[in-house]
Amino acid sequence: MLLVRTTLGKGLGGDPEDAARLSGDLAAAIRDEVARHGGKVSGVLGPVTFALFGVVRTREDDAERAVRAGLAILRRLRQYGGGGPVPVHGRSAPRVAVATGEVVVTCAADGTGAVPVVNGAVPKSCTDLLQTVPPGGIRVCATTRAGSERALAYGPAGPDGACEPLGPRPADAGAPPPLVGRDRETEQLRGVLDDVVRKQRPCLVTVLGEPGAGKTRLGDELSRLARRSPHGYGVVTGHSSWYDCERPLALLERTLAAATRTHRDEDESDRDALTRTVHALCGTGDRGAWLIDRLAPLLRTEPPAPAEWPGLATAWRLLLTGLAAERPLLLLLEDVHRAPDPVLDLITELADAAGPVPLLVAVSARPELLDRRPTWGGGRRDGLTLTLDPLDGTSTAALLDALLAPTGRDLTVDLRRDLLARIGGNPLYALEYARELISVPLDRPAGPPQLPRHVRQVIASHLDTLPPVAKAVLVDASALGGVCCADGVSAVGGLDCAEAAYWLDHLERRDFLRRSRHPSATGALRYAFRHPATREVVDELVPPTVRENRRSRAEAWAEQTAARLPG
């Protein structure tokens, strides 16, 4: 929850019209920043605005979004008033507080988008925290800090655990985690790097994987292989982010910055770097001038206008094609499942129409990309799709050992077995559990750690990418003991048996469930949770009364089924 308190300065309370106008401007600014960061204003009470993040959809970075929204609101309101910038001390003194925790949310069932009703301790704790914030300041609770400190830096914590965010955390330049269990994928990528040069044709490589499967780490390895290749690859990188909602072409902006970096002198402007890059490719004639003019909108503070997109897209494609003609080029794009449709179209057009140049376009995405683009990557002669499956037990154990080796932490046989089951072959889970173990002093025995906070956030966010009926099926599967069949889900949740079978199959394809080799006593297909942690989070997200009701139905169905079996 994000609370913002704004008070009008002296001299603004006398004229009701002026006060109403300024209050409306402040409210609009707050609402804009909250929406831009993925939140929703839930109400206004006097000078205090209430905003919610993670309602009605959970995201793994909700805490970070809320804090970034608070910082953005402060920046905007500190110099805001009337029709233009004014000193904060003369107009408004904003105060911001952010608190995070579990709540019960009641939403309108008619889909009208009515403001959700929130019950729990978070509203009070956030209100109490707001009372401690100095004018023009922001404070967050300890839980918010824990959920966002990977991306944001914080000042010292007070006695209550609350602290002040300082801004984005500098990128960690440390060594990446070891890459294990991906030898086959690495060799395939090495072969593609060679094939692109040998054939002198573009190739589109897509790496699909659930959250934490290691897409970024494999991309880092591909970049390393390209840079060390005897073919002399150049590398241009970019990524899609949730920050891009107001800048649909942000991915192109990042790739343009990366492409011009090698031609950029220190203290050189973006425009000069672009000019230098284009002139190096095609000279100073009309063609170069045309490219510079079409690409220049990507350098502006305001996003390019839709009318500029067609020419800009053509110029972007020609620039990358020209770079690839000079030397083999790897274009590495991360998280394209977040990219808008025009950018996805441009990526496929680049791979299809670049011409006879050694260009490798490699993208990573979560499987939901295929929900939007079922034919993505298909129908082209030079293309490869890699799906990162969970690591096997041997590879997971090797990764865990490598992460713990610098600390000297030894695992008992039972603890190792328990951890491997909890990790379920997910490299991110292994990293997070290792961090939990490393935080335990060596002179204390390490017991089974609780589910790491970041893992819980990732799973909850991933669950919320599912349709409501699919999430309900997971609740039913958990009530049935974690192993279920369509008949059981139908009995517990009230779905038609055929519909239950459809959603179980859907959840298997999305890697939430795995199919058992052994059918049920009645011959039906059985499914189990792929990760024990997923079932744990599913149970946490369901109100206790609903959970107990489903379990009672599951027990009744199990008794009836057992009574019908012969013998």
Q: Tens digits of per-residue pLDDT, 68-114? A: 999 999 988 876 544 444 344 444 578 999 999 888 777 665 555 56
Give the pLDDT score at 90: 43
Res 220: pLDDT: 95
What pLDDT, on a 0 to 100 scale, did the predictor assign at position 82? 41
- Average of pLDDT values for 250-275? 80
Please name which of 274, 253, 254 lies closest in space to residue 262, comparing C-alpha atoms. Answer: 274
CATH code: domain 460-564 is 1.10.10.10
Length, in residues, of the chain: 567
CA gap 315, 296 in Å, rounded: 10
pLDDT greater at residue 204 or residue 81: 204
For the chain, percent of residues with pLDDT exceeding 70: 90
The separation between the first and the last C-alpha atoms of the chain, rounded to the nearest angstrom, is 57
- CATH code of the domain made up of 183-387: 3.40.50.300
* Residue 28 clears pLDDT 70, i.e. is over it: yes
Task: Give 553's pLDDT tier (boundaries 50, 70, 90).
Answer: very high
Joined together, the tokens standing for residue 266 give 């220190």
Q: What CA dihedral angle connects 443, 444, 446 and 450, to 10 degrees?
A: -130
pLDDT on residue 80: 56
Which of 195, 218, 192, 220 lies closest to 205 in space, CA to CA? 192
**Angstrom distance (rounded) from CA 187 to CA 200:** 20
Q: What is the pLDDT of residues 491-530, one digit of tens each?
A: 999 999 999 999 999 999 888 999 988 877 777 899 999 8
Strands 138-140 and 203-208, by their bridges, are unpaired
- For residues 12 and 263, give the distance between their C-alpha atoms in angstroms, rounded to a whole number: 52
pLDDT at residue 377 in the model: 83
Cβ neighbours of residue 414 under 8 Å, at least 6 residues apart? none
Give the pLDDT band (50/70/90) at residue 219. very high
CATH assignment of 2-168, given 3.20.20.70, 3.90.1150.10, 3.40.50.2020, 3.30.70.1230? 3.30.70.1230
Query: 443 versus 453: which is more confidently predicted?
Result: 453
Average pLDDT rounded to a whole number, residues 399-424: 89
Give tens-digit pLDDT for 295-349.
Answer: 988 888 888 888 988 999 999 999 999 999 999 999 999 999 999 999 999 999 9
Average pLDDT over residues 560-567: 75
Among the ranges given (4-18, 62-76, 279-293, 423-437), the one the predictor scored with the smallest mean pLDDT: 4-18
Residue among 144, 212, 153, 106 nearest 433 (CA): 212
Q: Can you give the pLDDT at residue 89?
A: 40
pLDDT 10s digits, 459-480: 998 898 899 999 999 999 999 9
Q: What integer pLDDT is reported at residue 85 of this predicted model?
A: 41
Where along the chain do its domains lie?
2-168, 183-387, 393-449, 460-564
